[in-house]
């Protein structure tokens, strides 16, 4: 019989972003969960066909005691969320690939649950053993809204939900053969 123990465990939310070695061995990938404060106004707009653009931003700083911290890695990527009335589908576009969803919740989940995003490559030249300060956030890109909505975004918090930076430290491990 089917027991509760056989059921897949729910994916645990990640309050703190994690950076892990990439599966292909080149660099490191970020996984994090966000909350998108999608207000009623924004939900109504997307359901009327106004596309929303969400941007994830990642920054990695090398701490310096004698000067400002040095920005060594900066990455971002953008999702486009749109509703198509003809097919009655929400579509999330990332890097030119369209993912269809029946419900808005499913479309939003695909945006807020970031998994295996390559943020650090071997070419970034990070020093092993050094603790870097990292920060990441997901925000609505109000600059890509149609002009009337941009004006509203300047005057109405409902149209410009603020995303907080999630801050954490990242230390590149020392290779085993270097010890």
* Cα(146)–Cα(148) distance, integer angstroms: 6
Instruction: Report angle CA 93, 13, 105 to the nearest 5 degrees.
Output: 40
pLDDT tens by residue, 96-141: 999 999 999 999 999 999 999 999 998 888 999 999 999 999 988 8
Strands 28-33 and 89-94: unpaired
Using CB atoms within 10 A of its CB, is residue 132 exposed (0-12), middle (13-18) or buried (19+)?
Answer: buried
Q: How far apart are CA 46 and CA 123, in angstroms?
A: 39
Q: What is the pLDDT of residues 65-100, one digit of tens each?
A: 888 999 999 999 999 999 999 999 999 999 999 999
Residue 30: per-residue pLDDT: 95
In the prediction, which pLDDT does 26 show? 85
Instruction: Find which of 3-7, 57-61, 158-162 is predicted with most confidence, using mean pLDDT.
Output: 57-61
What per-residue confidence (pLDDT) applies to 52?
A: 93
1 pLDDT more than 50:
no
Q: Which of 174, 173, 143, 175 is nearest to 159 (CA)?
A: 143
Residues 148-179 have pLDDT tens digits of: 665 555 455 565 666 789 999 999 888 776 54
């Amino acid at each position: 019989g089917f027991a509760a123990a056989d059921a897949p465990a729910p994916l645990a939310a990640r309050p703190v972003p994690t950076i892990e070695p990439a599966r292909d061995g080149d660099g490191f990938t970020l996984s994090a969960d966000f909350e998108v404060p999608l207000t009623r106004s924004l939900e109504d707009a997307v359901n009327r066909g106004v596309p929303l653009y969400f941007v994830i931003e990642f920054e990695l700083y090398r701490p310096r005691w004698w000067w400002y911290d040095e920005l060594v890695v900066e990455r971002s990527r953008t999702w486009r969320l749109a509703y198509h009335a003809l097919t009655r589908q929400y579509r999330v576009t990332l890097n030119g690939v369209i993912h269809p969803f029946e419900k808005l919740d499913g479309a939003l989940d695909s945006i807020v649950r970031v998994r295996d995003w390559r943020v650090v490559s071997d070419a970034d030249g990070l020093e092993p053993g050094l603790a870097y300060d990292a920060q990441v956030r997901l925000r609505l890109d109000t600059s890509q809204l149609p002009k009337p909505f941009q004006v509203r975004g300047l005057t109405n918090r409902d149209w410009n939900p603020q995303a907080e930076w999630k801050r954490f430290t990242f230390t590149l491990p020392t290779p085993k053969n270097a010890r």
